[in-house]
Amino acid sequence: MISQNEIQPVDKFIEKALYDKKIGYYSKFNPFGKKGDFVTAPLISPLFSEMIAVWVISFWIKLGKPNKFSFVELGPGNGAFCKTFCRVLKNFPELKRSVKIYLFEKSAKLIKIQKNLINDENVFWIKSLSEIKTGPVLFFGNEFFDSVPIKQFEVRKSKIYEKFLKFEKGKFKKFVFKKTQKSIIKKLKDLNLIRKRGVIEYPQKGLKILDLIIKKIQKLNGGILLVDYGYTTAAGKDTLQSLKSHKRNIYYENIGQADITYLVNFHLLKKFLFKRQVFPNKIVSQSFFLKKLGIIERAEILSKKMSFNEKSDLYYRLERLLGEKKMGRLFKVLFASNNKKKFNLGFK
């Protein structure tokens, strides 16, 4: 429950609404699937997870088939991706012997759900990235950074104000804007986020996590593969959104009962990685990436043994993953590694 009278910056509010042990959305609910509030790509079709698995296997081969290989899934949701990933690995015994799969999850509720779904000796749960000791390491996040709280600012007459939410008697009253600290303004300038007007979204916590990931990649060798909905050009607008029972929700209502998310600034992530000598490929759409990996050909092979209804369902789900007006265009894919010789599978 939000305190009777409280003023919180946007990121602290999101943190409480999503992750507080008493009222937090992810502490109480299984948000995934038809009975939940939203559906992710691994739940739409196992073909998504199969294609990512193929990509990971190819990356491991590119690294020279190391006999110790760490794979870290960031925010593994209900565990659907990991379950399919483990199934595919059974066909690649050499990699299965080499890999340790780490699930980076902070929600005790979701960990319980994941453990009920996944039963594999290669899988371990971690709450801190410092627990990753061996490399090479590949970090993978599907809809991870959109769940990490962000700060919001507004530019008014060339001055930057941070956005807060004011609550009275436990209910949202109004937005409050306060002058931004000079140290924060400097960070916004360094990241080239300052603009003449509109909204500035600053993923302060997300960049801290990304910085830890970068340090691990630099130390242990490896890379990071991210899939998320977002944009590649300057937004200048409020992208915060909320879902409850698959329908739009006002994010400061139904607190702890609904998901809160936002569009990921892929251009910012790319610059942040490059500046720290982890070299990104070009950013591509989910549709481009999955098609290059052969998802349509895989679907055609599977469909030959299917009934008409099964085939219809397969292609309906494929359209959700690839369609221009579905996930295909809105979702972006980014890969970066500490090796200047780019691993381009799926990106060209």
In a domain, 6, yes or no: no
Element (H, E) at 289: helix 286-292
Q: Which domain holds residue 279?
A: 19-148+202-248+265-337
Query: Residue 260 corresponds to which tokens in the numbers above?
Result: 């809160």
124-170 confidence digits (pLDDT tens)? 999 999 999 998 999 999 999 999 999 999 998 889 999 999 998 87
In a domain, 104, yes or no: yes
Element (H, E) at 244: strand 241-244
pLDDT tier for residue 237 given thresholds of 50, 70 and 90: confident
Residue 34's pLDDT is 65
174-233 confidence digits (pLDDT tens)? 999 999 999 999 999 999 898 888 899 999 999 999 999 999 999 999 999 999 999 998
Query: Closest Cα partner for 224 from 139, 344, 339, 341?
Result: 139
- Looking at residue 127, its amino acid is K
Q: Is the pLDDT of residue 2 over 70?
A: no
CATH number at 143 reads 3.40.50.150
In a domain, 312, yes or no: yes
Query: Residue 26 corresponds to which tokens in the numbers above?
Result: 């992810």
- Count: domains in the chain: 1
pLDDT tier for residue 112 given thresholds of 50, 70 and 90: very high
Distance of alpha carbon 147 from alpha carbon 165, whole angstroms: 19
In a domain, 345, yes or no: no
263-315 confidence digits (pLDDT tens)? 999 999 999 999 999 999 999 999 999 999 999 999 999 999 889 999 999 99
Burial class (CB in 10 A: 0-12, 13-18, 19+), 51: buried
In a domain, 193, yes or no: no
Residues belonging to the chain: 348
In a domain, 285, yes or no: yes
Q: 135: helix, coil or strand?
A: coil
Place of tokens 């990356």: 59
In a domain, 173, yes or no: no
In a domain, 242, yes or no: yes
Distances from the Cα of 224 to the Cα of 5, 58, 64, 345, angstroms? 42, 14, 17, 14
**Contact status, residue 211 vs residue 249, Cβ threshold 8 Å:** no
